[in-house]
Structures are given as C-alpha cells and as structure tokens.
C-alpha cells in the first residue's frame, strides 16, 4: 500500500500510536540503560541490615531489594533481558511459522495437510507445562529460554501466513509468472513473500508480547536465567526472599507494571497495525461513530478464536 496512506491510517488509529510510543520508550530505556540508571548493576553492595529492602528514599527512588541493590537500576537493566528474550524468541517463531505457512499455503495438497495438522496438534498442547518440561530437561539459561519459547510460539504465525499465501497464490500475476516459466522458489521469493511479509510483521508484534509474558512467567516460576535479572526474575527473588513479609511493595509493584507496560504497548501496536493492513468496515447498525474497535486478533475458522488466549501470539 502507498506510504502516505499507511501513516495516515496508522495515526488516525490513536491506540496504535499510543502502543508504539509505549514500546519506543521501553526500547529506549533498554538501549540507554547505562545512561539512565542511577547505579551500576554490577557493583557489589555491602549488605547491612539497613539496606535490605530499604524503602524508597532520595538515594534509592524505588528502594532496595533483598541484596541491598537499587530496584530502579534493576528495573532499567531488566528491560534489556525481557526485550532481548522477546525479540529473539519471536524471531525463531517467525522463521519456523513463516516457512511452514508459506510451504503449506503454496504447495497445498498433502504437504499442506500434514503441516497444518502438525500445527493443530501443537496448538492444542498447553504451552506452559510443555515449556516447563523442556526447561527442566534442558537446563536453565538465557539461550535455552529463547530457544524453547521460540520453538513453541510459531503456530499462530503459521496459520496467518498460510491463509494469506493461499489468497496470494491465486492472483493473476502469480499465474502469469508461472506461465512464463518461473520456478516455485522464485515465485515464493519474488511474488508471494513480499505480500505475506507485512502480515507476518503485524503478527510478530503479538508474538513478541506473548514471548515476553512467557519469559516473565518462567522466570517467576524459578525457571529463568538466575544470573540475569529480568523483570520476572526480580519478582521471583522478591517472592521467594521475603519481600512480602518485609512489606517491601517497592520490589513487587514496579517489575509487574513494567511487564504490563511493554505487553500492553505491543498489544495496542499490534491491533493498530492489523487495522491498517486489514481494514474492514467496522460499523454496526446500532451505533454511530464507533471509532475504535480493538478486536481480538484475526480468526481463521472457528478454531483460531483461541487467539484471544494468553500465550498465543496470533
């Protein structure tokens, strides 16, 4: 679609812009963490009885944690871990889901049947228990975390890409390209992929938010990388090391709000982008002036309504 048109309709969709700004702030904080953070997260703190869970003060705006470290500093550096896991895991998901969706949609027939059945089967198996089992067997650590979240998060992408590929495949220019002797791979690369890619990008935004939620949940359950303080890991330490009984709300509340901030930003952005790329008349006969309809992500057949679910990033 023309460039101008895109930005126009994107900006008309206020929620999408708000989501974009929220995400941009989080990314900026992650990138410029050393400039923003009041302390160096790696300095060793001499722990005394006074600086364990000490309340917010002029020195520590958000108080200190169980190890006497500044919560605000941890929070700022935590953005890095959460976002890195989110981006890399969703990249894996996109590559797998995109490939499966493209191949299934383009070749059709038996290939499509097998691939989509596999997708359906994986879609039904509950995510979190499988993630827990995989981490229990593979061990802890950031690369493993990225890997397992990535290889389980592609089902939604595969479905979206497949249905888009199906519709592009039947277009005139694809048939013409075939008529003048273009090979399958050439057609996929030059004609189909460019038209499927925008949709994948929209999907990516939602996959990232699911990956970030998954990372924080796993970290909270004690399955994260214990050496890297993600927001989920901060909450795990706070929960298991007595922040509740110490009344240290400052080490409980901020990490959760940070997760909500990023996930909400991504969700709003994803819904906004979807509306731009997939504009449908969102009017109904009983109300006028219904400006904003943030519907749950697209549905392919009755089954995919599960997309409203928490861990599917469709």
129 binds another protein (CB under 8 A): yes
Q: What are phi and psi of 303, to 5 degrees?
A: -70, -40
255 binds another protein (CB under 8 A): yes
21 binds another protein (CB under 8 A): no
86 binds another protein (CB under 8 A): no
Answer for which of 217, 230, 272, 313 binds another protein (CB under 8 A) is 217
Tell me the residue ranges of DSSP E strands in the chain.
none
Contact 232, 220 (CB under 8 A): yes
Contact 63, 56 (CB under 8 A): yes
> Rounded to an integer, what distance in angstroms lies between the CA atom of residue 295 and that of residue 304?
14
Least Å from the CB of residue 301 to another protein: 9
Number of residues that bind another protein (CB under 8 A): 67
110 binds another protein (CB under 8 A): no
Least Å from the CB of residue 144 to another protein: 11
108-111: long-range contacts, CB 8 A cutoff, minimum separation 24: 108/166
Answer for which of 120, 171, 190, 278 binds another protein (CB under 8 A) is 120
Closest by CA to 246, choosing from 51, 17, 10, is 51
Buried residues in 182-217 as b, exposed as e (16+ CB within 10 A): beeeebbeebbbeebebbbebbbbbbbbbbbbbbbb
284 binds another protein (CB under 8 A): yes
189: which residues sit within 8 A by CB, 6+ positions away? none
**Helix locations, 108-141, DSSP H:** 109-124, 127-138
Closer by beta carbon to another protein, 40 or else 290: 290
> Rounded to an integer, what distance in angstroms lies between the CA atom of residue 22 and that of residue 264?
8
213 binds another protein (CB under 8 A): yes
Answer for which of 10, 154, 220, 237 binds another protein (CB under 8 A) is 220
Structure tokens of 103?
Answer: 């191949």
282 binds another protein (CB under 8 A): yes
133 binds another protein (CB under 8 A): yes
> Rounded to an integer, what distance in angstroms lies between the CA atom of residue 51 and that of residue 65?
8
> Which region among 24-32, 104-112, 151-159, 232-240 touches another protein (by CB under 8 A)?
232-240
Closer by beta carbon to another protein, 52 or else 174: 52
27 binds another protein (CB under 8 A): no
Contact 134, 151 (CB under 8 A): no
Least Å from the CB of residue 249 to another protein: 7
260 binds another protein (CB under 8 A): yes
> Which region among 73-81, 93-101, 157-165, 255-263 touches another protein (by CB under 8 A)?
255-263
259 binds another protein (CB under 8 A): yes
Whose tokens are 């990008």? That residue is 201
Least Å from the CB of residue 235 to another protein: 6
**Residues in contact with another protein by the rule CB under 8 A:** 117, 120-121, 124-130, 132-139, 209, 213, 216-217, 220-223, 232, 235, 239, 244, 247, 249, 252-253, 255-256, 259-260, 263-264, 267-268, 281-296, 302-303, 305-306, 308-312
């Amino acid at each position: 679609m023309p460039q101008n048109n895109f930005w126009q309709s994107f900006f008309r969709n206020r929620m999408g812009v708000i989501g974009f700004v929220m995400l941009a702030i989080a990314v900026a904080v992650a990138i410029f963490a050393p400039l923003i953070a009041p302390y160096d997260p790696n300095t060793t703190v001499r722990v005394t009885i006074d600086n364990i869970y000490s309340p917010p003060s002029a020195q520590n705006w958000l108080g200190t944690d169980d190890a006497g470290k500044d919560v605000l500093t941890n929070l700022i550096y935590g953005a890095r871990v959460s976002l890195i896991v989110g981006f890399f895991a969703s990249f894996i998901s996109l590559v797998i889901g995109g490939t499966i969706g493209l191949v299934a949609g383009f070749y059709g027939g038996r290939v499509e049947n097998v691939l989509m059945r596999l997708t359906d089967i994986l879609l039904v198996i509950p995510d979190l228990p499988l993630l827990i089992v995989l981490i229990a067997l593979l061990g802890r650590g950031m690369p493993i975390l990225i890997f397992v979240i990535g290889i389980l998060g592609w089902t939604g992408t595969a479905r979206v890409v497949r249905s888009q590929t199906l519709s592009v495949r039947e277009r005139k220019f694809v048939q013409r390209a075939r008529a003048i002797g273009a090979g399958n791979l050439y057609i996929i690369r030059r004609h189909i992929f460019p038209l499927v890619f925008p949709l994948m990008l929209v999907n990516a935004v939602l996959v990232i938010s699911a990956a970030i939620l998954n990372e924080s949940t796993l970290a909270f359950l004690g399955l994260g990388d214990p050496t890297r303080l993600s927001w989920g890991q901060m909450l795990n330490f706070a929960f298991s090391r007595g922040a509740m009984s110490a009344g240290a709300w400052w080490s409980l509340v901020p990490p959760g709000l940070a997760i909500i901030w990023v996930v909400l930003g991504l969700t709003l952005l994803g819904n906004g982008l979807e509306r731009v790329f997939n504009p449908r008349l969102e009017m109904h006969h009983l109300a006028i002036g219904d400006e904003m309809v943030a519907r749950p992500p697209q549905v392919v057949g009755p089954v995919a309504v599960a997309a409203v679910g928490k861990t599917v990033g469709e």
